[in-house]
Structure 1
Amino acid sequence: MEFQKFYKEFYGIYKPIIEFEQNCLPLCAAESEISDFVRKPLSSFVQEKYILGSILGHSKNNFIGSEKLFKIYTLLTDLCKELFSCKYADGRTLTGVNTITTLLMSLFEIGDTIYISSPKYGGHSSMPKICKRLGINFLEMPYDLEKMDFCYDEINNNLRKHSIKGILICLSDMIFQPDLSQLDLSTDVILIYDATQVLGLIAADKITNYFKLFSDECSFVLAGSTHKTLPGPTNGLIMTNSQNIIRNLDLKINPDYLRSIQMHQVLSLIFCLEEFSIFGKEYMDAVVKNSNVLAGYLNNKGFEVIERNGVFSDTHQIFIHMPFEFTHAFYLDCQLYNITLNERYSYIYNSSGIRLGVQQISRYGWGNNELASVSEIFKLIYEDCILGNHIHYSKISNMIKELANHKKLKYTLSSNDVLRFSNLF
């Protein structure tokens, strides 16, 4: 394609993406904006380099020069030890789903039976499909809607009676972390907790870190993607203290299931963890506070916000129940105004509703005034849905435009600190 033509076509595609990002109201619980500091390594030439084998020790018959790259693994492990209290940290997988698929392939055999968290109660919808494709039998974990947690007595009883090799807890929708301390686990039952949504909250000690509860003899894996409450690149992260898990996992990831490691992504994750070690606790305090403040405002405006014992959320997420006939209409109107969120149809939303997250707007330093404006925007949109028109269009648009003017990232290093790395990337 002639270059000028290519430029015009690409400009026409990419410019609207930039404009959307600048003007949207970002309330998607699955997305996070990374800082200039964390973005720096993504332009590194190390993305073009190869390294094979273990992260525990540099393997023989490797690519020449890869022994220098190997030291990056050590730095990642050191930071994860500090933030998560783990002994083994592996950042070679590419995304959250790639991470769980790799774990399933590495730790289970065809014909094994495992428990998984059900999509009907917030579980990731890909997990049943992946298990089927890998030949792993699965049972959906029983769930108590009133307690908003799993039915641990029933699960523990089945673990004793049946040959269940593992438990995979992979929650996309979570306002309260499950109380995994109630699981009665033998050392040969593997527990994988995909904490993609809440890795930042765990690292900041806002919710339970199960490395501090489970012994090293427990076959426990904490894993996930690193771009939700942990504001890093789209990357995978696997952590464990179990030597048995480490032996079964380390050399299977590479060279068996992955060959080329996206090392610039690993570098970006390292920068994220360093940034988080400095600002993470303050940032996560703001996230949990804002999720409950915004939920309270919405509740006061007549929305049916899901809660437990008077608490709306221990995480970045908020669940709003809406009648089935209005949920999709509300979602479409949010599309009209460039408000990013999700419509949901499952039991934990009382059949239908909206999921939103405050992790990105909290990164902008938004507080009570901005959250009050968001709740008012929601009220006006819902009124229009009921009336079937857009009589509040101008007011809503202006309010969102005003909020869009307050999108400067906080909880990050200064521009002078970022500049110190400019000669490296």
Structure 2
Amino acid sequence: MINKLQFEIIRLLDENEEFSNEELASKLFKDNNLIESARKNLEENGYISGKEILPSGKKMLEEHKIDNAIILAAGMSTRFVPLSYEQPKGLLKVKGEVLVERQICQLREKGIQEVVIVVGYMKEKFQYLVDKYGVILVESKEYEKKNNHSSVYAAKRYLKNTIITSSDLYFSENIFQTYAYDAYYSSVYMSGKTAERGIVTDEDDKILKTMYGDKCYDIWVTLGYAYFNKRFSENFVKILDEIYDLPDTAGKFWADIQDEHLEELYMYAKYCGADVIHEFDSLEELRKFDYNYQKKSNSKIMQKICYVLGVTEDQIIHIESLKKIKFSMFKFECKEETYICDIQENNNDKINYQGRVYYLCRDVIRSTITLYKLDKNIKVNGKREYNVEGDLKYLYQATNEFKEYHQRTLPLCAAENPTSEFTNIPLSCGFQERYIMNNTYSFNMSDNFIGCEKLLPFYQKISEVCRRMFGAVYTDPRPFTGMNCIDMIVKTVCEHGDKIMLLGKEYGGHASVKPVVERLGLKTYEAPFSMETLDLKYDEVNAMIKKENIKYILLAPSDVIRPLDVEKIDTSSCVLMWDCSQLLGLIAAGLCKNPLEHMKNIIMFAGTHKTFPGPASGLIMTNEKSLHDKMEMTINPKYLRHSQMHQKISLLFALVEFEKYGVEYMTHMVHCSNYLGKKLEEKGYHIVKTGDQISYTHQIFIECDQDTMNRIYDNAYRCEVTLNKKTKNLFHGFGIRLGTQEIARYNWNDDALDLVAEIIKMLAVEDLDIGKVMELKKKLPNKEIYYTFPQKEILPFLKENEKKNYSI
């Protein structure tokens, strides 16, 4: 009769006859001399000859063949919240493979065909494995009340020479066996103190004693899977039959029962390397093993939390189940704040937990998730405790995070643009605290504060530059944003009850316009639109204006690859309010028609931070004195007092800068749109075209189905690619909008655009390898602003002590 060591040598040689003594010693964690002696004994007794296993050795192996495997998958894995709310832990995909499927394949590689899976929690999700792998499903009906011994007991009729493993384990190499000497438990060595189950073994690796607590220090522990031979299986079932219904048994692992009956339920240790067996007790442990889980867990709950809090998944940490309070609740930390999430509908406005109060986050839709935030304000001696240092740290971290994030992003949002160092000069000169009443055309010193006359030259220069660039006789830069322009114009020009025609949001119109003008008392009509031409149906527009006696047309295209041909509108009896926020830079550069030059009764206005690379401000222009007069004396001081002069002067700097560099910048921007769009088309995307051109602007439209749209958006969020998803008729239902104005501002060339196209292609992949996207992003050029004045033009504005930081 051979001993265990000799058996293991034959077993390993059966797997690979080329194993040397040194390799066998390494795999069995034994001394080389022991291996050499055991191998010599096997040869003398006719089991092996050199590296060859003789018939007697093969027969002996067959007598110890493993019959089947039972995979335990019934548990709820409550420590793995919130992922465990949506699917069993064993069905998670780790490093590209579903955990339980990886184990099934590893078992089959070892010739173990019969695989039994014990299910309970979300049992229906395992059903597909029957068709895919021919497994046997056994239901444990007591998984909520009892520990994993109940799963073993549920499958007791399959217990023979049986591997017992858990569905949520990941073995980096296949450590299952075809043959086994006796019952065993896979074991790894852990340095320092551990909470795992420590073991003491004899020289044949038989487990003599198990322990927990302080004695578990620098010790071998049981971890991974176990093997029950027939002896063990029969004894275990016999013991379970006797104790199963006892109240004390309910909470025990099967290994706890073994500890109490170690004499009948003895087994051996199967020593393994510490980097082979991976068991993940929480999402944070899994994140350390699989990079993709840092940003993408595929959990809808995590996604909702991220969207509500404006964070990425890696910022949600210290996740902890609160099942003792309520199964659907868990706690987590994010950006140094503590939250409780309830995935079920909850009507409570606050939660008391461990002596602290968590208040409802008001921006959460209760029907999806309910979030509560810990109230940090504690009264000490009747006063609120105020942590100044903590707030300063918060401000520093938030500011730094903002700067670092935008340095990392691939910026493809069609509504943002960076300002240059030259344009930013006025933002730090103290203009923001100063007042001036009225505008260039209505300034009156007696109506103003002393000192405001120093601000008037800037307003005058804005008007002068806009007259050159846009042919605007009257310019008003006082509004704060494009939407504020709409508010100011409608309030001052229109009357309650007037009729106004709008561009519908389904066809690219800004979604906020209709509720704003309706709130101001105007009756709205939607402009007829053609999906074929991506433009208005002008004959129908003009007929509707005449028939309905419409006095105003407000067109605010937000999604636009082809500028509307607004000059075809008959404005002889109405006023056109033309929001060119997305087109302002193109108009200023002469690459897009300027209706202000040819049309009567038009007010042209815009937000100044999109294709035009200025600060977030507003700009109104018209050549009609009657319209100008209505706005000039009413906007300020009736509807607007402080006009934020630092933004207005920054806008002036941007206008001067654009007048010199804008044509070159806008030309490159349109090239980027068409080149990138063509590359995306070559990669299989459906890119919307207007005529034979992809875009006349900075925008690119991708049409796709809803699932693809959501997948691109979700992957973009995790990979820090800024873009928009669209659900409207203009995209035939669903799509993605890209903008090239920012990457064009960095003067990225075609090689960079090729990389951008490859990244966008990858965003549509269902099981995206986020690491690969991040590596591609690192290859993109730096974000250095072009089309701006050189530093020598900035120096005159600086103090002497600031100039030393600049090199010409």
Shared fold by TM > 0.5? yes
Match of 1:121 in 2: 507
Opposite residue 148 of structure 1, the aligned amino acid is L
Unaligned 5+ segments in structure 2 are 1-385, 803-808
Determine the C-alpha separation between the residues in 1 that align with 2:533 and 2:481.
31
C-alpha contact 2:561 2:690 (8 A) present in aligned 1: no
Candidates 97, 114, 126, aligned match of 2:483: 97
Matching residue within 57, 63, 81 for 2:442: 57
Larger deviation: 355-364 or 48-57? 48-57
1:41-87 CA-partner distances (Å, limit 9, x unpaired):
01121211111124303223321222222221110001111111111
Q: Does 1:110 align with 2:496?
A: yes
Provide the rounded CA distance (Å) in 2 between the counterparts of 1:284 and 1:194: 19
**1:394 and 2:744 matched:** no
SS of aligned partner of 1:232: coil
Counterparts of 1:92 and 1:304 in 2: how far apart (Å)? 41
Match of 1:31 among 409, 416, 433: 416
Computed over aligned residues only, the root mean square deviation of the Cα atoms, in angstroms, reads 1.4
> What is the aligned partner in structure 1 of residue 433 from structure 2?
48
Task: Give matches, 1:23-422, under 5 Å.
Answer: 23-59=408-444, 60-186=446-572, 188-214=573-599, 218-382=600-764, 384-385=765-766, 389-390=767-768, 392-403=769-780, 405-422=781-798
Give 1:284 deviation, angstroms: 0.3
Q: Which moved more, 1:332-341 or 1:155-164?
A: 155-164
Whether contact under 8 Å (1:363, 1:411) holds in the other structure is yes
What is the one-letter code of the residue matched to 1:225?
G
Cα distance in 1 between the residues matched to 2:700 and 2:797: 37
In 2, Cα distance between equivalents of 1:168 and 1:73: 26
User: What secondary structure is seen at the aligned counterpart in 2 of 1:197?
Assistant: coil
The Cα shift of 1:308 comes to 1.7
CA shift for structure 1 position 162: 2.1
Greater shift after overlay, 392-401 or 300-309?
392-401
2:56 is aligned to none
- Equivalents in 1 of 2:688, 2:569: separation in Å? 25
Deviations 1:375-421 (A, max 9, x none): 11111221x22xxx12x322211011221x42111101111211221
Is the 2:502–2:553 Cα contact (8 Å) retained in structure 1?
yes
Shift of 1:6: 2.2
**How far apart are the structure 1 equivalents of 2:447 and 2:406?**
46
More strand by share: 2
Amino acid at match of 1:400: K
**Partner SS for 2:772:** helix
Secondary structure of the equivalent of 1:181?
helix
Structure 1 position 38, deviation (Å): 0.4
Range moving further from structure 2, 330-339 or 60-69: 60-69
Q: Which amino acid aligns with 1:57?
A: S
Q: Measured at CA, do residues 2 and 359 of structure 1 come closer, stay the same or move farther in structure 2, by a change above 3 Å?
A: same
Please tell me the residue identity of whatever aligns with 1:206: L
Distance in 1, Cα, partners of 2:692 & 2:772: 32
1:366 match: secondary structure: coil
What is the CA–CA distance in structure 2 between the aligned matches of 1:109 and 1:75, rounded to whole Å?
32
| Distance across 1 between alignment mates of 2:783 and 2:458 | 32
Task: State the TM-score, normalized to the length of structure 2.
Answer: 0.51
What's the CA shift string for 1:161-189, capped at 9, x where partnerless? 22211000001100000011211121x41
The 3-state SS of whatever aligns with 1:53 is coil
Asked whether the equivalents of residues 504 and 527 of structure 2 are also in contact (C-alpha less than 8 Å), the reply is: yes
Deviations 1:134-185 (A, max 9, x none): 1111101110000110011111012122221100000110000001121112
3-state SS, counterpart of residue 787 of structure 2:
coil
Mapped to 2, the partners of 1:128 and 1:7 lie a distance apart of 41
Runs of 4+ in 1 over 6 A off after TM superposition: none
What SS does structure 2 have at the residue aligned with 1:231?
Answer: coil
Kept in 2: contact 1:50–1:66 (CA 8 A): yes
Q: Is the 8 A contact 2:500 2:553 kept in 1?
A: yes
Say whether the 8 Å CA contact 2:475–2:619 is kept in structure 1.
yes
Query: Secondary structure of 2:736's partner?
Result: strand
Contact 2:711 2:763 in 1 (8 A): no
Tell me, in whole angstroms, the C-alpha distance in 2 between the residues paired with 1:124 and 1:375.
28
CA deviation string 1:264-298 (max 9, x = no partner): 11100000000001100000000011100000000
8 A contact 1:219–1:244 mirrored in 2: no
Question: What residue ranges of structure 1 are gaps of 5+ in the alignment?
Answer: none
Counterpart residue identity of residue 161, structure 1: K
Change (3 A) 1:278 1:332: same
Identical residues among aligned pairs (%): 37
| 8 A Cα contact 1:175 1:313, kept in partner | yes
**Which of structures 1 and 2 has the bigger CA Rg?**
2
Q: Is the 8 A contact 1:55 1:250 kept in 2?
A: no
8 Å Cα contact 2:501/2:552 also seen in 1:
yes
Report the structure, 1 or 2, having the larger helix content.
Answer: 1
Cα offset, 1:2, TM superposition? 4.4
Say how many residue pairs are matched.
Answer: 415
Aligned-partner Cα distance in 2 for 1:246–1:96: 17
Distance 2:580 2:799 in 1: 35
Contact 1:175 1:317 in 2 (8 A): yes
- For the residues of structure 1 that align with 2:605 and 2:442, how far apart are their CA atoms? 21
Deviations 1:18-40 (A, max 9, x none): 11111000000000000000011
Shift of 1:190: 1.0
Letter in 1 for 2:691: N
One-letter code aligned to 1:104 = V
What letter is aligned with 2:771? S
| Corresponding residue SS for 1:92 | coil
Q: Which amino acid aligns with 2:791?
A: S
Q: Which amino acid aligns with 1:81?
A: R
